[in-house]
Amino acid sequence: MMTKIAFVRKKEIPPSAPPITEVGLIGWLRQNLFSSWLNSILTVLSVYFIVIILWDFIPWAYGGHWNTKSLRECLDLDPDVACFSVLTARWKQLLFGLYPAEEYWRPTLTFIFLLLAIVPILFPKFFRFFWFSIIYPGLAVWLLWGGSFWSISIVYIGLTLGALFFLTLIRRYLKNYMIAAILAFLFTAVFFLFISNPLVGLLNVILPISLPFVESLKMGGFTLSLIVGVTGIVASFPIGILLALGRQSNLPVIKMICVGFIEFIRGVPLITLLFVASVLLNYFLPPGTNFDIVLRVVIMVTLFSAAYMAEVIRGGLAGLPLGQHEASASLGLTYWQSQRLIIMPQALKISIPGIVNTFIGLFKDTTLVSIISLRDPVGLASTIRADQKWNGIYWELYVAIGLMFFIFCWGMSQYSQYLERKLKTDK
Amino acid sequence: MSSPTLPPSESFKFSMLLSDTRYRGMSLQVITFIIFMAVFFWLVDNTIKNLALLDKDVSFNFLWLRAGYDINQRLIPYTSDSTHGMAALVGILNTLLVAFVGCIIATVLGLFVGILRLSKNWIVAKLMSAYIEGFRNVPVLLWIVMVFALLTEFTPAPRAFKGAEPEATMLFFESVAITNRGTYFPAPVLAEGAYWLLLCFGLSIVAVIYFIRYANKQKKDTGKSLPTFWISVAVIIFPTLILFFAMGQPVSLEYPYLKGFNFKDGIHLRNSFLALTLALAFYTSAFIAEIVRAGIMAVSKGQSEAAASLGLRPNKIMSLIILPQALRIIVPPLISNYLNLTKNSSLAIAVGYMDVRGTLGGITLNQTGRELESMLLLMGFYLAVSLLISSFINYFNRSFQIVVR
């Protein structure tokens, strides 16, 4: 007789829910915050620290005054909260320095154009109007400093003519690039030495377009930081690449010059270089020359970060296997071809974090111009505090300036991480 | 079978200097060299002309003239009657002091933050990355002036310590006073016999070094490890301590005390020094933290797993497997960050600390009008420091890097 089986389960029992301590919010807390007694202590300490900071900061910032006339008035109303009125009263100065008030539209427009010029370079997939990025530098100089439109555009005209001359030579008459380049250079030089000035005069008579001239010492605030920072970043990158290549070169004279330059610049603080720019440069130039202080600063900052850039890129070059050089040479590529097509794309990709760090460093270093008494935001902060109305104000100004710099620098570092992910070829 | 025809030997043509790869490098170098020398001589020529116009010469005699200005924080005796050279030396020592103290604080903080950022604890890791991003993305000059403002505006004045019920009290058993004029610490006073104590201390350190060498050798030979750490601590502390009491306490502390409206005695650290050092240390520590994190993460996970499967305990894995490999990656950028800190200390001018840029490149330059000479010396000093440090990095790289082939 068959044993009668009273009950056979046909289906699997549904799994019971995991213990409440392992999933959900509690599980997450246990795993991430209270996994051991040491971790629990650290968590409690951190939370305590955060609470203390926010406990003081939020009421201070949230209840801040925005519309008083002076610090005195703020303190009379409520001494325990922020006095952001200084920003209300002086934000224009922090942004534009001593730029004439009726011309504020010019730096503003320059900044908007900067975004237009920079976005296609940052995201080449989505935007394709590079011509504006090429025009932008001249346009920005004209908008910021003013003067005749033609004296800026003549530079573009001259360079375009030189390039056309070079291309015609190569296509029609000459095979040797170097000779063509030298001839084109001479042509351009002749153009700028003899033809450009009369031409500008002529154009000014025919079609006078000009903006009121604004001198460099009037530039200040974040406008100045951006002028120095952006120009430095744009110019130091190609110079850095050339220096890095020069340092790797097997031509001893070029190598020595590059090594000497890089080591010298990296060995001294930026401040001493800025002092050279403001104090000593007049010694090194022909007697009587006196050229623009902002331009001098830009040149020094550019050279400074170019040296650092060169070292970063050299690191990238050293990171490439030697086989890449040899393979490209055995394909019959010339030095510049193999640099352009094989070596640089890979070396630059490796060195993206370092390059962006150098950019960020450069942008932060623009604050040092306050030490040679240019009016960048940090310099302006002391100017504002010297005003009797705002004497004794610290945090509101510093927090605002720090926040502006943080946004720019943090943005750059985020972009570099995006770029690294985008260019990653090995999964 | 035909022999390969040799290309006809070309006669040398002038255009080959630019087109032939055999000569192009050479001619390029010659051209570069000529341009370089031309620019160089142009600059020198301009300088000579300008100096002649201003009726100046180039001479370093000013270094032996009376300086005539005071320096409020100094490590060596200096008065306003001392020479400009002496002032420069005071400045150099001040720069080195900031750099030294700053590097130590930055390293400790950076190690701490970098390791904590790798913590599995979510909130701690986020807090540390906020610290790193905050310090790295805001200019160091702004941090310096902010820390200076914090130290001068939010600390009590010395007179707040006065009276029966003072508004402010000294910390650590009435020994440290934080005021808006600086911080006062107890100063050690060396009595007779203190040098014996120092000697004893030095000897114990030497003994510890030899002991560690012996212990390492023992470990390699027999596989047995000695309790190195505790023995070292004991060797460093006890002989000196015993001698200290045996000789009747030749070193005592001199506490700062309030006299009139200011503190007297003790070591006085001015706010300018503190602000500069702390701000530089915080700023650099954020960079060091990232270096430490990158170094530890660069050691592949297989290493710690392999070590664990050999049966090593977690702390042994860290000290014997991970750290020695991570240090190879960490040390070179760490040292170049020390160098950055040293160079950034030239921002001392923002808080009025008299470093070498403030004395030699500041007041001396302005008083004597010797811009060229002062700047040359100043740059020479920084260059010397940086070349010294980078040669050390090269030495480190050569002797500690893994040799692959």
Judge: B137–A271 Cβ closer than 8 Å, yes or no: no
Residue B23 neighbours by CB distance under 10 Å: 13
Alpha-carbon dihedral of residues A309, A313, A314, A319, nearest 10 degrees? 150
Q: Does residue B28 surpass a pLDDT of 50?
A: yes
Least Cα distance to A375 among A355, A401, A349 occurs for: A401
Report the alpha-carbon distance of residue B145 to residue B136 in Å, rounded.
Answer: 16
- Of A89-98, B133-142, B209-218, which one has max mean pLDDT? B133-142
Residues 6+ apart with CB under 8 A from A189: none
Judge: B146–A394 Cβ closer than 8 Å, yes or no: yes
Tokens of A400: 């605002």
Confidence of residue A236 (pLDDT cuts 50, 70, 90): very high
> Chain B closest CA to A119's CA: distance in Å?
22
Residue B401: the pLDDT is 64
Tokens of A155: 């530079």
Q: Does residue B174 surpass a pLDDT of 70?
A: no
| B363 three-class SS | helix
For the domain spanning B84-151+281-400, the CATH number is 1.10.3720.10
Confidence of residue B405 (pLDDT cuts 50, 70, 90): very low
Buried b / exposed e along A291-324 (16+ C-beta atoms within 10 A): eebbebbbbbbbbbbbbbbbbbbbebbeebeeee
Judge: A253–B32 Cβ closer than 8 Å, yes or no: yes
Residue B163: the pLDDT is 63
Q: Does residue B4 surpass a pLDDT of 70?
A: no
Confidence of residue B109 (pLDDT cuts 50, 70, 90): very high
Report the alpha-carbon distance of residue B263 to residue B255 in Å, rounded.
Answer: 10
Residue B289: the pLDDT is 92
Residue A310: the pLDDT is 92
**Which of B45, B120, B123 to probe by mutation at the A interface, max A CB count within 10 Å?**
B123
Residue B167: the pLDDT is 64
* ipTM above threshold 0.95: no
Contact A396, B130 (CB under 8 A): no
Averaged pLDDT of chain A: 85
Contact A236, A267 (CB under 8 A): no
Confidence of residue B1 (pLDDT cuts 50, 70, 90): very low
Report the alpha-carbon distance of residue A186 to residue A157 in Å, rounded.
Answer: 15
Confidence of residue A402 (pLDDT cuts 50, 70, 90): very high
Q: Does residue B313 surpass a pLDDT of 70?
A: yes
Q: Does residue B3 surpass a pLDDT of 50?
A: yes
Judge: A286–B49 Cβ closer than 8 Å, yes or no: yes
A395 CB neighbours in chain B (<8 A) are 149
Residue B104 neighbours by CB distance under 10 Å: 13
Residue B243: the pLDDT is 75
For the segment B103-112, the average pLDDT, to the nearest whole number, is 92
Percent of chain B with pLDDT over 70: 85
For the segment A266-292, the average pLDDT, to the nearest whole number, is 84
Question: Tens digits of per-residue pLDDT, B175-194?
Answer: 677 777 777 777 777 766 67
Which carries the bigger pLDDT value, residue B158 or residue A55?
A: A55
| Domains of chain B, residue spans | 84-151+281-400
Tokens of A192: 């700028």
Looking at A173-182, A258-267, A379-388, which range is the least confident one? A173-182
Residue A258: the pLDDT is 92
Q: Is the Cα dihedral A320, A325, A326, A332 positive or negative?
A: positive
A406 CB neighbours in chain B (<8 A) are 133-134, 137-138
Q: Does residue B404 surpass a pLDDT of 60?
A: no
Judge: A272–B357 Cβ closer than 8 Å, yes or no: yes
- Where do the domains of chain A lie, and which CATH numbers do they carry? 44-83 (no CATH), 218-427 (1.10.3720.10)
> Chain A closest CA to B137's CA: distance in Å?
5
Residue B8: the pLDDT is 61
Q: Which residues lie across from B263 on neighbouring strands?
A: B258
For the segment B139-160, the average pLDDT, to the nearest whole number, is 83
For residue B32, count CB atoms less than 10 angstroms from its CB and return exposed for 0-12, middle for 13-18, buried for 19 or more: middle
For the segment B99-124, the average pLDDT, to the nearest whole number, is 89
Q: Does residue B403 surpass a pLDDT of 70?
A: no
Tokens of A394: 């610290």
Residue B284: the pLDDT is 94
Tokens of B206: 């030497």
| Nearest beta carbon to residue A269 from set B145, B344, B350 | B344
Q: Does residue A427 surpass a pLDDT of 60?
A: no
> Chain B closest CA to A203's CA: distance in Å?
35
Which carries the bigger pLDDT value, residue A355 or residue B65?
A: A355
Which residue has 């016999």 as its token pair?
B193
pTM (2 decimals)?
0.85
Question: Tens digits of per-residue pLDDT, A300-352?
Answer: 999 999 999 998 898 888 888 888 888 998 998 888 888 889 888 888 888 88
**Which of A275, A311, A312, A416 to probe by mutation at the B interface, max B CB count within 10 Å?**
A275
For the segment A206-222, the average pLDDT, to the nearest whole number, is 82
For residue B67, count CB atoms less than 10 angstroms from its CB and return exposed for 0-12, middle for 13-18, buried for 19 or more: buried
Question: Tens digits of per-residue pLDDT, A14-33?
Answer: 888 887 777 777 877 777 77
Calculate ∠ Cα A47-A51-A57, nearest 5°: 145
Confidence of residue A390 (pLDDT cuts 50, 70, 90): confident
Where on the phi/psi map is residue A205: left (φ > 0), alpha (ψ -120 to 50), or beta? alpha
For the segment A231-246, the average pLDDT, to the nearest whole number, is 92
**Which of B53, B55, B145, B290 to probe by mutation at the A interface, max A CB count within 10 Å?**
B145
For the segment A393-419, the average pLDDT, to the nearest whole number, is 89
Angle between helices A221-248 and A352-365 (to 10 degrees): 140
B53 CB neighbours in chain A (<8 A) are 287
SS3 assignment for B130-159:
HHHHHHHCCCHHHHHHHHHHHHHHCCCCHH
SS3 assignment for chain A:
CCCCCCCCCCCCCCCCCCCCCCCHHHHHHHHHCCCCHHHHHHHHHHHHHHHHHHHHHHHHHHCCECCCCCHHHHHHHCCCCCECHHHHHHHHHHHHECCCHHHCHHHHHHHHHHHHHHHHHHCCCCCCCHHHHHHHHHHHHHHHHCEEHHHHHHHHHHHHHHHHHHHHHHHHHCCCHHHHHHHHHHHHHHHHHHHHHHHHHHHHHHCCCEECCCCHHHEEHHHHHHHHHHHHHHHHHHHHHHHHHHHHCCCHHHHHHHHHHHHHHHHCCHHHHHHHHHHHHHHHCCCCCCCCHHHHHHHHHHHHHHHHHHHHHHHHHHHCCHHHHHHHHHCCCCHHHHHHHHHHHHHHHHCHHHHHHHHHHHHHHHHHHHHHCCECHHHHHHHHHHCHHHCCCCHHHHHHHHHHHHHHHHHHHHHHHHHHHHHCCCC
Residue B144: the pLDDT is 92
Residue A387: the pLDDT is 82
Half-sphere exposure of A26 (CA within 13 A, CB side): 6
Report the alpha-carbon distance of residue B281 to residue B288 in Å, rounded.
Answer: 10
Residue B388 neighbours by CB distance under 10 Å: 10
> Chain A closest CA to B123's CA: distance in Å?
7
Judge: A178–B33 Cβ closer than 8 Å, yes or no: no
Averaged pLDDT of chain B: 82
Q: Does residue A105 surpass a pLDDT of 60?
A: yes
Looking at A159-173, B103-117, B233-247, B323-337, which range is the least confident one? B233-247
Confidence of residue B270 (pLDDT cuts 50, 70, 90): confident
Looking at A106-115, B176-185, B378-387, which range is the least confident one? B176-185
Tell me the one-letter amino acid at A99: Y
Residue A239: the pLDDT is 94
Residues 6+ apart with CB under 8 A from B77: none
Looking at A244-248, B6-10, B85-89, which range is the least confident one? B6-10
Q: Does residue A223 surpass a pLDDT of 60?
A: yes
Least Cα distance to A151 among A204, A216, A193 occurs for: A204
Percent of chain A with pLDDT over 90: 15
